[in-house]
Amino acid sequence: MINVTKTFFPPLDEYNDNIKRIWSNEWLTNRGELVLELENKIKKYLGVNNLLITSNGTLPIQIALKLLGNQGEIITTPFSYIATTSSIIWEGCTPVYVDIHPNYLTIDESKIEESITSNTTAILATHVFGNPCNIEEIERIARKYNLYVIYDAAHCFDVRYKGKSLFDYGDVSTCSFHATKLFHTGEGGAIFCKNEGLFHKIYYSHNFGHDGPVKFHGLGINAKISELQSAMGLSVLPYMSKIISKRKQIVESYLRMLDWRKLDTMKLRDNTQWNYSYFPILFESESDLISIQEELNLNQIFPRRYFYPSLNTIEYVKGNFMPISEDISSRIMCLPLYYDLELSDVTRICEVINNNL
């Protein structure tokens, strides 16, 4: 069976070596030795400064919205994973959708200004599939209207834009280290913030606001990652460049072998060093997508409809009509892409698709 993704399992003996350290320390959580080591290694690997690793990739979005959203209107994208929208509502803010660019699939920056009101507090945009938003234009708008910029960068581990980590842009960026993501700790995530004062607040809010055992520095929640999760991260991190170069090979095979006369894919923004995190293909219609998905399933191949449905159509949201996002969502699918996917299987997937287009 070939799924859209498959978790990378590091060699068990290397994972065991890290687990043994936890047993000898007899320390399981609250920023132990392995958490600090993983955090430092990620900082070095990515070349970033203020980074906090967390128990998942959703709590960082919630923390950012809690600190910057002020229960106001949040300009956001309808084309993302549910966590982008659900976090806004969970934090008592209101999502205001702005449609996406049909080629880049990120929020259409030219439509942001018309959606800003006196209640707008922040922009929460997703660098979807690791493709950067129009960062310069979003930055300009945010400055003009005095808004915060939060990037859901869940897909962006090791993406570089204009020579820097993509996490270095915006007031806050967040990442997910879930088992299905490019770099993983089983469950996990991270939050990035250049501003020292804001980072200080984020740091306290991820640990109940604790400032020592009996003092508190503001409101907090529990977003701490454990030593056990960090042991997985420390065992996976050394393989990242190998993982990414294998994925690059797979993506290049898809690009070479698929029949692009009736298909399309995402346009990557200029100046981007991408991470090959997802491989989305666009069909001409939803019915093409469904018939080819059925054919692939018969061959034990299970792509996923990332992202469907368009978030503005979710029942508890009641967002405005988003013609481009709703159209793209209805006919986009991500093909299998993972470290040990055989090139012979990529060939087979392409054949099934091409023969049924």
Residues that bind ligand PLP (CB under 6 A): 56-58, 80-81, 83-84, 126, 152, 154-155, 176, 178, 189
Q: Is 228 exposed, middle or buried (0-12, 13-18, 19+ CB in 10 A)?
A: middle
In angstroms, give the least distance from the CB of 30 to ligand PLP.
Answer: 20
Contact 245, 261 (CB under 8 A): no
Which of 262, 304 has the CB closer to ligand PLP?
304
In angstroms, give the least distance from the CB of 187 to ligand PLP.
Answer: 6
Which of 292, 310 has the CB closer to ligand PLP?
310
Which of 158, 258 has the CB closer to ligand PLP?
158
Which of 162, 304 has the CB closer to ligand PLP?
304
Residue nearest to ligand PLP (CB): 57
Which of 72, 189 has the CB closer to ligand PLP?
189
DSSP secondary structure string, 201-247?
Answer: HHHHHTBTTBSSSS-B-S---B-BPPHHHHHHHHHHGGGHHHHHHHH
Structure tokens at 290: 């469904």
Distance of CA 72 to the CA centre of its chain: 23
Distance of CA 301 to the CA centre of its chain: 24
Non-local CB neighbours of 69 within 8 Å, separated by 6+ positions: 88, 91, 93, 121, 122, 148
In angstroms, give the least distance from the CB of 56 to ligand PLP.
Answer: 4
In angstroms, give the least distance from the CB of 81 to ligand PLP.
Answer: 4
Contact 311, 198 (CB under 8 A): no
Which of 147, 223 has the CB closer to ligand PLP?
223
Which of 126, 134 has the CB closer to ligand PLP?
126
Distance, CA of 101 to CA of 266 (rounded, Å): 10
Express the helix, strand and coil content of the chain in percent, nearest 5 each: 40, 15, 40
Which of 64, 258 has the CB closer to ligand PLP?
64
In angstroms, give the least distance from the CB of 154 to ligand PLP.
Answer: 3
In angstroms, give the least distance from the CB of 356 to ligand PLP.
Answer: 28
What CA dihedral angle connects 6, 12, 14 and 16, to 10 degrees? 120
Residue 100 bridge partners (DSSP): 107
> What type of residue is 26?
E
Which of 80, 265 has the CB closer to ligand PLP?
80
Distance, CA of 296 to CA of 356 (rounded, Å): 10
Distance of CA 339 to the CA centre of its chain: 18
In angstroms, give the least distance from the CB of 183 to ligand PLP.
Answer: 11
In angstroms, give the least distance from the CB of 35 to ligand PLP.
Answer: 16
Distance, CA of 304 to CA of 302 (rounded, Å): 7
In angstroms, give the least distance from the CB of 342 to ligand PLP.
Answer: 26
